[in-house]
Amino acid sequence: AANHMIQILPIDQVTAGKAREVLQETTMRYLPKVSLKRIKTHAEVFEHMNDSAETPYVYFEVPGDNSAKGRQTERYMYAGVDGEGPRIPINFGRQVACDLLGLDRKVDWRACTEERDAEKDLAATFRAQFLPFAPKRK
């Protein structure tokens, strides 16, 4: 069975500066002997999967260095093409996110529950903060 997950995190400038390091440290801990491959575009992902959509892989985009063009995006991936590398843990992306945010206790989604009223308040705050980014209704 194929599992597809996406983790998207809005992070502040200080945290952004640690993203590459945390990604590398977490990879060393949970995918021993794996070296993430740096790629230039998302379109390159399939090139590293032995032409098979069934190849398990992880892909990350993290804030890179600042340049005259602004903050660059760095892209990394690992594809388990040879069958000899380690299995990619199902919650690996979540683990990277939790390590980056210092929230190890939330790696297990069951530890992320809130009281109903607190959850409603968090949802309302989230909607208000991201309203400027919402698609405009016609």
For residue range 123-134, what is the model confidence (pLDDT) as tens digits?
Answer: 999 899 888 887
Distance CA 33, CA 57 (A): 15
pTM of the predicted structure, to 2 decimals = 0.77
Taking only the tens place, the pLDDT of each residue in 92-126 is 999 999 999 999 998 988 888 889 999 999 999 98
Grouping H, G, I as helix, E, B as strand and the rest as coil, residue 89 is coil
- 12-23 exposure pattern, b = at least 16 Cβ within 10 A, e = fewer: eeeebebbbebb
Grouping H, G, I as helix, E, B as strand and the rest as coil, residue 20 is helix
- Work out the pLDDT band at 46, boundaries 50, 70, 90: confident
CB 56 within 8 A of CB 86: no
Distance CA 36, CA 79 (A): 9
The upper half-sphere exposure of residue 132, i.e. CA atoms within 13 Å in the direction of its Cβ, equals: 1
**The pLDDT value given to residue 87:** 86
Range in 57-61, 81-85, 121-125 the model is least confident about: 81-85
Burial of 57 (0-12, 13-18, 19+ CB in 10 A): middle
